[in-house]
Amino acid sequence: MDLLRIHKALADETRLRLAAVLNCFELNVGELVGVFAMGQPRISRHLKIMAEAGLLECRREGLWAFYRAAQDGPGREFLQRHAPLLEAIPQHAQDRERALVAVRERAHATRRFFDAVAGQWRDLAREVLGDLDLAEELAGRMHPGMIVADLGCGPGELLERLAGSARLAIGVDSSQRMLELAGARLAGRANVSLRLGELEHLPLREAEVQAATLSMVLHHLSDPQAVLAEARRVLAPGGTLLVADFDRHDNEAMRVKYGDARLGVDKETMYDWLQAAGFSPRRVDAFPVNQGLTVLIAEAALE
């Protein structure tokens, strides 16, 4: 009986605190160990009990395991209905603040990585992409004369191609060093605007652009769905979004050398994310590249 399993799983103070935090965040086991200052075996045991009761779901990323509140079923309904009680747990404010620190540290680590490798990023990208000219492939799908945005523009290779035919090309990145390189690359271009900002909170007005790209960005992010929702906000009705990313893979080395947070995104998940953000997916094309990887390019429209 679902209700009995749920109540048994939550008959523990630590598991109640875990439920409250994971109702708000997706965290990996190591992060939860830090948030709750407990040993990994103890945290893992609690997570197993809660997952078996249908309260949590686990997302495997190679050797990493991320947990969050169940997204459907009786467990989801129970947690939603009882969220105010969970948030009233005395330790929740402290737990939530520590969880926020863990999530922010993920973002800071990504920014530090890109600041450090900015100068070599072109060579690193070519090691993986090989003969695929991804910038040309994406730019070739854009109509001329539009206001476009490259979200996560890096050193500006794609932005330069977009600027060749766009009325205005806007590049957004969270790495100051990447934007400096993009600025040097695009110096003198009157139709280019470079903006420093987080992709989850874009420095763009609502409906400011007619088309946008997210090129090899989602696998670096903690919350890709939040970024897709922001892309939807800044796109005008009828706008187009192009998303390029690795197909799902198991190459753990990509985490270390390229700063990847997740091991690609499969086609079905890409479709689900786009639809949840309010887009209508049109097509997904696959391009085999180096190291046994495949790059997917998804086109979606904002109706």
Query: For residue 76, what are the CA distances in angstroms to 12, 44, 127?
Result: 19, 20, 43
Q: Which domains does the chain have, with CATH numbers?
A: 2-90 (1.10.10.10), 120-301 (3.40.50.150)
CA separation for the pair 104, 97 (Å, rounded): 11
Q: How far apart are CA 37 and CA 34, in angstroms?
A: 5
Residue-by-residue DSSP string for 165-194 = T-SEEEEEES-HHHHHHHHHHTTT-TTEEE
Task: Specify the pLDDT at position 59.
Answer: 87
CB-based contact 296:289 (threshold 8 Å): no
Write out the two tokens for 301. 């429209």
- Tens-digit pLDDT string for the chain (303 aa): 588 888 898 999 999 999 999 999 999 899 999 999 999 999 999 999 999 999 999 988 777 888 999 998 999 999 999 999 999 999 999 999 999 998 888 877 777 776 666 667 677 778 888 899 999 999 999 999 999 999 999 999 999 999 999 999 999 999 888 999 999 999 989 999 999 999 999 999 999 999 999 999 998 888 899 999 999 999 999 999 999 999 999 888 887 777 778 889 999 999 999 999 999 999 999 999 998 999 999 999 997
3-class secondary-structure state, position 10: coil
The answer to whether the CB of 75 falls within 8 A of the CB of 55 is: yes
What does the alpha-carbon distance between residue 6 and residue 74 come to, in Å, rounded to a whole number? 9
220 backbone dihedrals φ, ψ, rounded to 5°: -95, -5
Instruction: Flag whether the pTM goes above 0.85.
Output: no
Q: Is 40 helix (H, G, I), strand (E, B) or coil?
A: helix
Whose CA is closest to 151, among 201, 222, 206, 207? 201
CA distance 147 to 192: 10
